[in-house]
Chain A
Amino acid sequence: MTLEMLKVSGLRSHIYTSLAILMANPANIAELEKPIETISNAMNELSELPFFRPTECLGFLLKEEKEDKLKLMVEYTRLFVTAHPKAPCPPYESVYESEDRLLMRNSTLNVLDFYRKFGLSLSDTFKEPPDHIATELEFMHFLTFKEAEAWRDNDKPKALQFLRAEADFTLNHLSPWVPVLQKCVENHSEISFYRSTTCFLREFVEMDTSFIKWAAKNLADNSDST
């Protein structure tokens, strides 16, 4: 079980970091095919588990042809940054927290507290608030990675600690918010790339949340089954 969990958490970690890259501004990303390829491979392996089924949206994402970079940048700017009319889907959790659509509200502080608890702060080069979708996804990448490390070290209590943190973070932040963001992108995107990406994002967060819930419960209950 330990070895398996090490692999599973490692693969999930791969998917989270790839999604973080896909949800960041493409102006700063060298190759977008790579994270898609990583997701594809990781999902292939993960699909052995009942929680991670290859879905329709994954199919859409994999079919995304190499999109013209400028077109992608214009669309990212229009959807998420600045647009005329207004950018319809600001990628910040706090914007969806209330009807006022403000930045740096409670959810921002909550995720910042999360990061701090785990010894992290925002990097100086990534100029976005703590609750940018890419930052939150990268945090999940961190937690899953630390979980993998713990499994590698046969430190089950520590692994479960990270698993619980993943549950806490995703249930309070990603799970409630990602579907709203995805709906927004589905309604407003003019090209398929971000529709496919957020569609898979929503599905993966759903699948992973079910997995985390299961794992946190069952692994804790069967503490001697490793």
Chain B
Amino acid sequence: MAAETRREFLRTTASAGVIGLLGEKAVLNALKLIPPAGGKPEVFPPLESYYTSCGVCHSQCGIRVYVRNGIIKFLEGNPGDLHSGGKICAKGIAGGYLPYAPDRLKYPLKRTNPEKGIDVDPKWVTISWDEALDTAAGKLNEIKEKYGPQSIIFISQPTSFVERLRKALGSPNRITHHDTCIITHVVVEKFTIGAKLWIYDFPNSKYILCFGWDQPSKGKVVLTRRFSEAKRRGAKIVVVNPLVTLMSSQADEWISIVPGTDLAFALAMINVILDENLYDKDYVEKYTNFKDYEDEIRNWVKDYTPEWASSITGVPAETIRRIAREFATSKPSVIPIHKRDPPGPNYANSWKLCHAIIILNALVGSIDNVGGWLFTKGVKIPSLDKVFPPPSYPEPPTSEDICGRSKLPLLNKVKLGIFSTLANNILSKNPYEVKAAIIYKYNILSFPNPKKLVEALKKLDFIVSIDILPSEAVQMADIVLPDCTYLERAGYSVRIFNGWYPQVSVIQPVIKPMFDCRSADWIFCELGRRLVPDYFKKQDGTFFTPTEYLEAALRNGIGLSFEDLAQRGLWSKPGKFEPLMTLESRAKAGKRIQIYGETFKKYGYDPLPSWQPRKEKPTAEYPLYLIITRPPVHRHTKTTDNPHLLELYPENVAVIHPETAEKFGIRDLEEVWVESRTGRIKIKAKLFEGIRKDCICVSHGFGHWSKGLIYGYGRGANDGDLIPDQTVDEIITRGDPTGACCMSDVCVKVYKA
């Protein structure tokens, strides 16, 4: 790109005379001649189509992208895909915009203003990739030598390339978001059922009971399309939720409940089902440890009567009793759970609700059964460590990590992490001082109490951010490395959310990366080559590339080259679901569903989900429960800079019951402050009868303060500012093995702005 004194155009055409006349001149070389061998240039190239996978959410639905002139024209679902089934959500369709976002990061950037913080201009300057990578590696190396590898933290999605670099450096600090998302499900399912289950056989369910499970309202195609089939086939849908959502509108019955008390409802259901012996005896005796602990279990649940639960949940005892009976006798019945629903990490008792729901599903025999909750049939694609085995990783100087995950033994056994303790521990240097951070695919706004994290990040000497848009994390960075979008990179996706049978969907670059963006895998390899070269080499001593890994992994995993998979879009190994087959083989190996949590007991946790109230309750100062939901057309903070999606859903609002609004003197669409003990947000009030009078609901994903985001900046407010962060000691004292963040366990007040 350098303006060299070359004569690109002259070379093919010039005669001495013309050069003499025009003289030597500098040319930018933005354009080049198409080689004559290329034939006549095509002025109207045809529409081409490529298979790939959507990258807006983790479902990674199979899609087909249509491209003309190297520019994406439109995209649609891939009909053969287990996730999308040919359907695609609004977020997925609008994803075609991302590569062309005018505000996307285009070149590596270096900060020239040492001051950091909200509203501080980093005074960026574009630099070359070599300078950016050398600077980043040099600084990280300096910090590692001076303070030890534990002083470098990875606030990054743990891809195999990220993990290779982290482990090779010897840092114990893998900071991931799961305590704000799914940690209760993963830990509790792992230590009761034995695995995390993702699939629901909704089309064969006759009764679907949802404790705040609201996926169709979130536009999750993968779950919605099968749920819709259940609805078409006449399944009864019962929704327990303090808010009327799209799901509630599809339900046969909507039950309003005090937020964070679903555990009492579920315990009373267990009480009725056991008391009236409505459970599936054969199933329970064969596949669970119920028989071994029957006395303890019956004794534990005997006081949790519907009348008791009614006083906590606000739901009439008769309703709870009836729902328990219907659930146990309308088989196949199932209670689905997914991410941030009440059994997700929303409340202090969420992990127990998760356990209680597993018990309920087991009592009616719905786990691994027709119309129930199924094990994923995955595909084994060899990991990076299998394809290119590393030299043995160095032992980190300490096993303690900055989040305190190492103090939570069960959480430590699953490869998930905590956001909620990070800011506190950086600021208090507990257990040590952090000096540098590598931030990839995470944004500051997703943290509870994100403003505290900003203060914590200010203490660091050096931050590298790998991102697509100029997010809040980017604004705190010293070096910014521009990542490719999912439409510009290569990879594969395994269908875990709907793995009825093994299937792999290709991720291929449907267009050349815009500007000078490079894939994150390439970026981590380049950092690795500079920092810990031995760990980024093949056995022959040469460096490996992400492409080489991909090729070898696919050939070994599914016997296809990347090119073959790219042509086909999908690789599948269709098979029929055999009910109870997995539980049968597990039972033969002596592994049964732990209704009575033997593992929990072993580690000092409650073996049965005894009643535990939520952390915060309304007080005179903070009289309202906060509920948080997500709009159907946005994916967290990731899409709230997308003008097409903002046209559909331009900003979040505080949903409040008209009577409550009147009490606080608030009118529809008036600006209000919503305030918790952690912070306050300014947001428009929206009056709505479909919410409990003691609640206020805010959608997540808005409130960007990065002024680099041309559409997202300044829209709505960030619910995270209301959510307290926490300490590891608080988690331990609470007796929670999962490290849940308690994202909605917050009470607030509301007043005119």
Contacts and interface: CB of A to CB of B under 8 A. Distances in A.
B123 interface: yes
Contact of B122 (A84, A119, A138): A84
A30 B3 contact: yes
Contacts of A90: 102
Nearest to B42: A116
B17 interface: yes
Given A81-B106, A122-B32, A127-B1, A10 B643 contact: no
Of the candidates B2, B31, B34, the one having the most CB atoms from chain A within 10 angstroms of its own CB is: B31
Given A38-B25, A83-B121, A142 B71 contact: no
Interface residues of B, number: 62
B533 interface: no
B102 A123 contact: no
Contacts of B99: 104
Most B-side CB within 10 Å, residue of A76, A121, A135, A146: A121
B27 interface: yes
A108 B70 CA distance: 11
Contact of B470 (A28, A84, A95, A138): A84
B15 interface: yes
B1 A74 contact: no
A134 B713 CA distance: 29
Interface in A155-212: none
Interface stretch (A11-19, A46-54, A55-63, A216-224): A11-19
A197 to B, nearest CB: 14
B32 A86 contact: no
Interface in B242-257: none
Contacts, number: 191
Interface string A130-151: 0010110011011001101100
B127 interface: yes
Interface stretch (B632-640, B650-658, B701-709): B701-709
Contacts of A34: 26
A123 B706 CA distance: 33
Nearest to A149: B13
Contacts of A117: 41, 43
Contacts of A24: 1, 3, 28, 30
B102 A101 contact: yes
A29 interface: yes
B28 A148 contact: no
Contact of B34 (A20, A83, A119): A119
A127 B1 CA distance: 8
Contacts of B121: 83-85
Contact of B128 (A27, A116, A128, A135): A27
Contact of A152 (B9, B17, B23): B17
From A84, A116, A145, name the one whose CB has the most chain B CB atoms within 10 angstroms. A84
Given A38-B25, A82-B105, 10 more contacts: A17-B26, A17-B27, A29-B3, A34-B26, A81-B106, A81-B126, A86-B709, A92-B102, A138-B27, A146-B13
Interface of A: 6-7, 10, 13-14, 17-18, 20-21, 24-25, 27-30, 34-35, 38, 70, 73-74, 76-78, 81-87, 90, 92, 95, 100-104, 108-109, 112-113, 115-117, 119-129, 132, 134-135, 138-139, 141-142, 145-146, 148-149, 152
Question: 7 tightest A-B contacts by CB?
Answer: A85-B707, A126-B30, A103-B100, A123-B32, A135-B30, A116-B41, A127-B516
